[in-house]
Structure formats: structure tokens, C-alpha cells
């Protein structure tokens, strides 16, 4: 554990358990979603691959019994609360069920296709601005769902063309000869792993793919195939924008790395890595401390403060023997972290002994970038120009 001393005060970035809960027969935790208007409520999606799934809504005031429990036939892969209608919860399953769950009524099954992430966003349909649901998955389609009428529209098809190798030959039917394949392109589809909405432009969606690319799509129209942006040497498992500076975002992938990017700047600003070679399953910005980042793999949870160091995490929490971490999420104030494990346990940790909140978030993050890029003044000047314009 690293400690930072500022003006005689020592900050240890410790994680203290507030409560721990487990619902029997639910399987592993796949996703945790927090409610904006009620910090006490969280939605947890459960289920092991190929088995039944469950959605539980937990209340921090009573973590022994879920407020609501919904049994499903397939594992739940992602959940997300609506901001416009806080009593609505969107969820997707491993089999491709798109669900809108109300506080009282049951579930609406809309379509069958493998989906891995879901999000709410404000959509302008020329008549009114209302909150809709967007999903991505193995099909390569970005689908827009209207929860009021249970219908979907395709707003993007994530396809790309692969150019064959120069030495590739194909067999022509009806002949015994081989001919070289020229000007013939193989069309493939991106398999999307996660999505994140652009905080500035509500029509722009960032999609991470298992092919190692990051795609930027627009909900209005996609002109031709998307241009992939190579982000990781392996699958990009997630993307998250900074709540303090919308032009700053992070990506994490199966190459055990977490990169910090600035929109419009090609190389990553920082790379957060540890000795572990496990894929980074989850990476989150702290809602309160703009320079604090949480990364999670199967064995460890790391708390980073890039204002202090980008080489070593401030705190490392290890999983118990025989259990591995699956996912995590902050509450809206950034003081509590909810962590889900493979045995179905959900644990709430309190972030203790943290530094004071930065008064000017933008200046604080710029100072962090200046410290990281002290050997690359050209790149820092480019980052400073983008963030200050």
C-alpha cells in the first residue's frame, strides 16, 4: 500500500467493508448498476454462462433481503437505470433478451440476439426528446429501442472489410485450377463488448470491440463502414469517459492494460499496468476525485491516483482464495464502491483516508498529465491545447 503525505496529513486510500450480501442460487455477479436519484439502491445482474439468470435490486439500508428479485431463463450480462424514469431498469441477457423492468410489473421480452451492454440516452426523434435504450452485442448491430412501444431501429452496423493476404488462393468451382484472389474483400462484423455515451454530444456513442478496436458511432446516421481506432493488443473490454473532463476517457482490455486517452490526440496519455497478466475486467473513474481510477481483474482491485503516480496503485485489494472479482461500480458521491464476485457476493466498500476533493478539477487533471508527460513536452502541449480550447 502506498501512502501520500500532504501538509502533514497521510492519505492511505483504504477500502473498508460496509456490508456484504449474497443471494443463494443466483450464480456469479456480471454487472452492477447504481441509481442516480437514490444512492441506496443498486441493481445486480447474476448468472453463469449457459445457466439461469437473476436481477436483484438491493437497498443499502437492508442488504439482507433484495427489494426486488426477477428470475430469468438466461444469464444477465448488463443493467442500467433510466435517468428520466428512475423506476425503469434496462437489462440484457446472454441469449439476447432486451428487458425493461419496472418497480412493480414484470418483464418485456423484445428480441433475441446476443447483447453484452446496454445504456440509456436522450434521443431526438424530431417530435420530442425522450430517453431510449441502445444495445450492442455479437451481431455487430447498434440498436435503438423505444421502451414505450417495445420496438427497435438499427442505427449502425459495425462491419469492416478484410483484405486477403497476397498469397491467398481460392478454388474455382467446376475446374481443377487455383486462381489468385484479387480485388475481393471479405466482410466481417465487429463484436461489440461495451458502449459509453459521449457526455458532450448525445448523438455519439463509443463502442469497444473484441477485435481490439474502439469505434465512434453517431445515432443520426453512419456513413459507410466505421473507421476502427486501434486501442489494445487484444479485446477492448470497456470504455468510460471522465465525469470531470468529457474529452478524457479510458479503455481497458484483455492485454492487462488500462489506457487514458484525450479526444483528438492519437497516443494514449498514460498506461496503468501491474504485475498481473489477467485481463482488466472493469475500470472506473471516481465521480468525486477526478484523478482517482479503479481497475479490477479476477484477482485484484487497484485504486490509482494518477496525480500522485501512474506507475503503482495506491491500494491493492486481493480476492479471497477460490473466488474472483467480476465487476464494480461507484455510488454517485464516489465514497462507496460496490464489488461483485464469482460466488454471487456483493460487497460495499467505503473509500477511507482519501485526499481532499480538488477545487478545480480541470487544473488538477492537467497537473496530473503534466507530471506523467514530463519527458514528452510536445504531447503535453497538444493535450493542454485540446483541453483548454
> Among residues 345, 377, 376, which one has the least CA distance to residue 19?
345
Rounded CA-CA distance 384/374 in Å is 13
| Number of domains into which the chain is organized | 1
* Model confidence pLDDT, tens digit, residues 201-227: 877 888 888 888 888 877 655 444 566
Look at residue 86 in the predicted model and tell me its pLDDT. Answer: 78
Rounded CA-CA distance 107/103 in Å is 10
* Model confidence pLDDT, tens digit, residues 284-330: 999 999 999 999 999 999 999 999 999 999 999 999 999 999 999 99
Rounded CA-CA distance 286/168 in Å is 49
Residues of the chain with pLDDT under 70: 1-9, 103-129, 140, 148-188, 219-227
CB-based burial label for 209 (10 Å; 0-12, 13-18, 19+): buried
> Among residues 295, 293, 248, which one has the least CA distance to residue 268?
248
Question: What's the pTM value of the predicted model, to 2 decimals?
Answer: 0.80
> Among residues 2, 21, 20, 22, which one has the least CA distance to residue 12?
2
Distances (CA, A) of 33 to 78, 81, 125, 244, 302: 8, 7, 27, 20, 20
Tell me 267's DSSP state: S
Q: How far is CA 10 from the centre of its chain?
A: 32
From the CB of residue 23, how many other CB atoms can be counted at a distance below 10 Å?
19
Three-state secondary-structure class, residue 386: helix
Three-state secondary-structure class, residue 371: helix
Rounded CA-CA distance 31/383 in Å is 33
CATH number (domain holding residue 198): 2.130.10.10
Tell me 309's DSSP state: B
- In sequence order, which residues have a C-beta less than 8 Å from that of residue 136 and are 6 or more positions away? 115, 116, 117, 142, 143, 158, 192, 193, 194, 195, 207
* 245 strand-pairing partners: none
Look at residue 109 in the predicted model and tell me its pLDDT. Answer: 39
> Among residues 250, 218, 222, which one has the least CA distance to residue 237?
250
Which domain, by its residues, includes 378?
Answer: 4-170+178-388
From the CB of residue 229, how many other CB atoms can be counted at a distance below 10 Å?
15
Q: How far is CA 153 from the centre of its chain?
A: 23
Amino acid at each position: 500500500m502506498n501512502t501520500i503525505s500532504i501538509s502533514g496529513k497521510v492519505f492511505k486510500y483504504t477500502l473498508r467493508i460496509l456490508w456484504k450480501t449474497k443471494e443463494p442460487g443466483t450464480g456469479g455477479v456480471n454487472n452492477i448498476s447504481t441509481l442516480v436519484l437514490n444512492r441506496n439502491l443498486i441493481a445486480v445482474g447474476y448468472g453463469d454462462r449457459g445457466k439461469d439468470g437473476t436481477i436483484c435490486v438491493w437497498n443499502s439500508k437492508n442488504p439482507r433481503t433484495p427489494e426486488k428479485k426477477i428470475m430469468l431463463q438466461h444469464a444477465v450480462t448488463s443493467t442500467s437505470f433510466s435517468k428520466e424514469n428512475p423506476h425503469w431498469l434496462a437489462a440484457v441477457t446472454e441469449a439476447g433478451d432486451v428487458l425493461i423492468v419496472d418497480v412493480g410489473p414484470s418483464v418485456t421480452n423484445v428480441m433475441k440476439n446476443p447483447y453484452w451492454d446496454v445504456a440509456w440516452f436522450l434521443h431526438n426523434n424530431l417530435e420530442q426528446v425522450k430517453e431510449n435504450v441502445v444495445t450492442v452485442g455479437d451481431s455487430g448491430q447498434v440498436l435503438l429501442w423505444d421502451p414505450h412501444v417495445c420496438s427497435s431501429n438499427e442505427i449502425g452496423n459495425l462491419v469492416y472489410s478484410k483484405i486477403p493476404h497476397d498469397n491467398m488462393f481460392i478454388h474455382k468451382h467446376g475446374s481443377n485450377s487455383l486462381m489468385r484472389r484479387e480485388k475481393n474483400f471479405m466482410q466481417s462484423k465487429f463484436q461489440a463488448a461495451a458502449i459509453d455515451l459521449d457526455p458532450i454530444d448525445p448523438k455519439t456513442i463509443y463502442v469497444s470491440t473484441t477485435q481490439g478496436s474502439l469505434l465512434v458511432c453517431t445515432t443520426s446516421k453512419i456513413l459507410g463502414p466505421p473507421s476502427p481506432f486501434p486501442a489494445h493488443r487484444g479485446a477492448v473490454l470497456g470504455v468510460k469517459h471522465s465525469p470531470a473532463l468529457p474529452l478524457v476517457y479510458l479503455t481497458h482490455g484483455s492485454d492487462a492494460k488500462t489506457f487514458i486517452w484525450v479526444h483528438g490526440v492519437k497516443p494514449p496519455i498514460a498506461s496503468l499496468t501491474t504485475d498481473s497478466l489477467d485481463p482488466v475486467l472493469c475500470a472506473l473513474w471516481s465521480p468525486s476525485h477526478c484523478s482517482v481510477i479503479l481497475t479490477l481483474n479476477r484477482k485484484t482491485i487497484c485504486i490509482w491516483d494518477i496525480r500522485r503516480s501512474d506507475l503503482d496503485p495506491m491500494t491493492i485489494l486481493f480476492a479471497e482464495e477460490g473466488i474472483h472479482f467480476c465487476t464494480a461500480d461507484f455510488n454517485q458521491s464516489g465514497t462507496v464502491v460496490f464489488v461483485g464476485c464469482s460466488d454471487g457476493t456483493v460487497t460495499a466498500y467505503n473509500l477511507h483516508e482519501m485526499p481532499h476533493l480538488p477545487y478545480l478539477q480541470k487544473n488538477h487533471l492537467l497537473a496530473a498529465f503534466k507530471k506523467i508527460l514530463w519527458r514528452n513536452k510536445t504531447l503535453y502541449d497538444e493535450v493542454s491545447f485540446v483541453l483548454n480550447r
